[in-house]
Amino acid sequence: MSRDLQHRLHSRLELAAQMLDLPLTAQHLEDLAVELTPAVKALLAEQADAQAAAAPVSYAVVETDGVRTTTYAQCTSRIDVTVAEDSPAALLAAAFRTRQPDVVATDVPSATYLGLTVRPQSLHAWAWWVERLRLDPVALTRQDSSVYGVGNVDGVVVHVRGDGVSDLMADESAARLMGLLAETEPAS
């Protein structure tokens, strides 16, 4: 690749020198081609990387055992094939997926039930989910690094799993101040 690139660069430099009537010898052009090849190769690599970053996000739809699974932008969406795409739970799941970067997965087994997995980046983000899903801090349960709760949004029962939320709530006093943990009675 480098040798081919070097030859192509040499021919372009020779053409440019002729068109601009530059006083460059064949040895000057050869030296320029040799010296510029690594820089041009790096520019081409950067351009290829930029194009790869701008390429469409991978998208996959798979249907197995009556569940249609879609993976898009690191978010997995599962919906039972018997559930209408315009059902309340499906519409709520779609709204969360498209508007909230914290959403990792949505599961819609029925028209009025949504399983939601989120990975909030801060206590404030988790507080937003608690408020939006109308979760009761007393009813939240912790298991490993996740927190689980059940809320209700516009008639849709939402069972949420907050990945990494236990780690975010390591500062229990801050979590209590934000209303994310229920106040406990001091031990006597």
Both tokens assigned to 59: 């998208």
Digit-coded pLDDT (tens) for 102-112? 999 999 999 99
pLDDT band at 188 (very low <50, low <70, confident <90, very high): very low
Digit-coded pLDDT (tens) for 133-162? 999 888 888 888 899 999 999 999 999 999
